[in-house]
Amino acid sequence: MNSRDPIQTDLLIIGAGPAGLFAVFEAGLLKMRCHLIDYLPQPGGQLTEIYPKKPIYDIPGLPSVLAGDLVHNLMEQIAPFEPGFTLGERAETIEKQEDGRFMITTDKGTQHLAPAIAIAGGLGVFEPRKPPISNIAEFEDNGVYYIVKDPADFANKKVVIAGGGDSALDWAIYLAEHGSEITMVHRRTEFRGAPDSVEKVEHLATTGQIKLITNAQVIGLTGNGKLETVTISANDDQEVIVPTDVFLPLFGLSPKLGPIAGWGLELDKNAIVVNTLDYSTNVAGIYAIGDINTYPGKLKLILCGFHEATLMVQSAFQLAFPGKKLSFKYTTVTGIEGIHPAS
Amino acid sequence: MKDIIQITLYDRQGEVHHLEAPTDMSLNLMELCKACDLPVKGTCGGMALCSTCHLYIESDHELPEASHEEEDMMDQAFFVKENSRLGCQIKITERLDGLVVRLAPEDEEF
């Protein structure tokens, strides 16, 4: 297959959290092939990204299950149906084709073709949290970076890191040890990251390899097209201007609805309005399941997402296999018969 | 025992809201705000995993100390002050009668 050919599937699922993963199982029972897109680099959505070690108590039949284990089990459950994954990419645009299918293109240009789309986007796309500095957008990719793609870019440069969590600590250590001149700015005096990392940063601060400014935050940026200085305000309201090449605000991720907001779907308070008959949206062929949808009586529960996924695929089946009759079967009767992606 | 307590809330425009909160429904401040149709998103559902219910405590009520989870989240939030708390971590109890709070600015406005 030419790498530029679109990925073709029966049901394209946007969001690889629990609802999206379980949709693969239910679709698989109906012999529908599935492909999932997720902006995170691994499946599981917020369960894997935010609270893998938290126990969940309301999954029927499982008195207690760690979020990470639930995802692991779901992956095992859907393995026979060999779903495809496009991970680390954000579904950006949607276009209806002449043959009735939808073409979904990601931010990296990967194209996907499917007759039915299920949006299982949860809270939305997890994007880096941007500090409220009015002109920060001016310097994005010109000195301001929210994620470190290639640390070699910062070697022998002056780098200001803001944030007190693990990623701020880890990058401060790594970059300090690889020749960057690091200033670390943190809102408090103590750090809450892994004890090892905290100790190491404190050690590097005493040896002068990291300049530590605590009880402080970055409040301003200056430069001419390219970042030149950051203004740091300490809690006693003293302002210091620090010349720098790079500013890395590392404040974790926060979910946003993202590009889906512009797809012409009916929204209510950042959620997609659906018909509870089959969880269809106002656009024929596009469904929404799990935390991202809304309807009277909606509860944002994983178990409700599972139910929604199950009913949704019955309707999506008609789009994948027009004219075919659907006969409902229990897994206790038929077992699980895997499907293989069409060659 | 008081079943209903009074809470004064200033929204992001500085407008005052007088809220009546039942103490017997195990509500937290975030849930109370949502129930009163105030602009509090509560995205994470109360797990201290977002900061959309960030608010300032403006009366001198003694509140339970912030948990590690709440402190961790505060490290990633913006506009944090000495009196910052996450609404979802503050249970509505009789002791909060007369509490005064102010909603913190939203990250997303920027």
Question: DSSP secondary structure string, A309-329?
Answer: HHHHHHHHHHHHSTTPPP---
Residues A187 and A247 in one domain: yes
Residue located via tokens 């049901």? A11
Tell me, yes or no, whether A244 and A259 share the same domain: no
Measured over the CA atoms of residue A235, residue A241, residue A242 and residue A247, the dihedral's sign is positive
pLDDT at B72: 85
Min distance B16 CA to chain A CA atoms (Å) = 23
| Element (DSSP H or E) covering residue A51 | none
Amino acid at A77: Q
d(CA B66, CA A161): 26
Q: Which of A51, A132, A192 sits opposite B78 (nearest CB)?
A: A132
**What gap in Å lies between CA A11 and CA A29, rounded to an integer?**
13
Query: How far is Cα A121 from Cα B17, in angstroms, rounded to an integer?
Result: 34
Are B68 and A192 in contact (CB < 8 Å)?
A: yes
Whole-number pLDDT of residue A343:
46
N- to C-terminal Cα distance for chain B? 44
The tokens for A52 are 């893998």
Chain centroid, CA B30 distance in Å: 5
pLDDT at A126: 84
Same domain, residue pair A29 and A120:
yes
**Integer Cα distance of B101 and A146 in angstroms:** 32
- Look at residue A246 and tell me if it is in a domain: yes
**CA B89/CA B87 separation, integer angstroms:** 5
**Would strands A111-114 and A7-8 be described as parallel, antiparallel, or unpaired?**
parallel
The answer to whether residue A59 sits within a structural domain is: yes
Residues A23 and A85 in one domain: yes
Same domain, A282 and A232: no
CATH architecture of the domain B4-109 equals Roll (3.10)
Residue ranges of domains in chain B: 4-109
For residue B76, is pLDDT > 90?
Answer: no
- Contact predicate B84/B104, CB 8 Å: yes
Contact, A130 vs A141, CB < 8 A? Answer: no
- Verify that A87 and A135 share a domain, yes or no: no
- CB of B75 within 8 Å of a chain A CB? The answer is yes
Last residue of a domain, one of A227, A251, A275: A251
Contact by Cβ (8 Å): A179, A156: yes
Q: Which residues of A touch B34 (CB under 8 A)?
A: none
Whether B45 has its CB under 8 Å from any CB of chain A: the answer is yes
Q: Which of A135, A254, A270, A304 to mutate to test the interface with B (most CBs of B within 10 A)?
A: A254
ipTM above 0.85, yes or no: no
Do A301 and A276 sit in the same domain of this protein?
yes
Any idea which residue has 């009074």 for tokens? Answer: B6
Q: Are A268 and A220 members of one domain?
A: no
Q: Does B39 touch chain A (CB under 8 A)?
A: no
In a domain, A45, yes or no: yes
Domain check: are A185 and A229 in the same one? Answer: yes
A114, A9 contact by CB (below 8 A)? yes
Interface of A with B (CB under 8 A): 46, 50-51, 54, 123, 129-134, 136, 163-165, 186-188, 192, 251-252, 254-256, 270, 300
Q: Which domain holds residue A86?
A: 7-127+254-334
Residue A47 lies inside a defined structural domain of this protein: yes
CA distance A235 to A323: 68
Q: Quick one: A208 and A266 in the same domain?
A: no
CA distance A69 to A53: 9
- Domain membership flag for residue A297: yes
Please give the mean pLDDT across all residues of chain B.
Answer: 91
> Is A158 found in the same domain as A111?
no
Whole-angstrom distance, CA of residue A302 vs CA of residue B45: 13
> Does the CB of B78 have a partner CB in chain A at under 8 Å?
yes
Asked whether residue A342 is domain-assigned, the answer is no
Measure CB to CB from residue B72 to each of A129, A134, A192 and give the nearest one.
A192
Q: For chain A, which ranges sit under pLDDT 50?
A: 1-2, 343
Are A252 and A130 in contact by the 8 Å Cβ rule? The answer is no
pLDDT of residue B1: 67
- For residues A32 and A75, membership in a common domain is answered with yes
What's the pLDDT at A341? 62
Residue A340 domain-assigned? no
- Report pLDDT for A96: 96
Output the pLDDT for position B4: 93
Q: What is the pLDDT of residue B110?
A: 36
Chain B CB contacts of A136 below 8 Å: 110
Distances (CA, A) of B104 to A115, A128, A292: 44, 20, 25
Q: Measured on CA atoms in the order A253, A259, A260, A261, is the torsion positive or negative? A: positive
**HSE (CB half, 13 Å, CA atoms) of B38?**
31
Decide if A61 is inside a domain. Answer: yes
Lowest mean pLDDT among A222-231, B46-55, B87-96: B46-55
**Is the CB of residue A245 less than 8 Å from the CB of residue A143?**
yes
Of A123, A129, A132, the CB nearest to B76: A129
Closest-approach residue (CA) in chain A for B51: A254
**Phi and psi angles of residue B83, each rounded to the nearest 5 degrees, phi first:** -100, 20
The answer on pLDDT for B85 being more than 90 is yes
Beta bridge partners of A126: A255
Please name the residue that has the structure tokens 């305000």.
Answer: A233
* pLDDT of amino acid A342: 57
Chain B hits for A53, Cβ within 8 Å: none
pTM exceeds 0.90: no
How many structural domains is chain A composed of?
Answer: 2
CATH of the domain at A73: 3.50.50.60
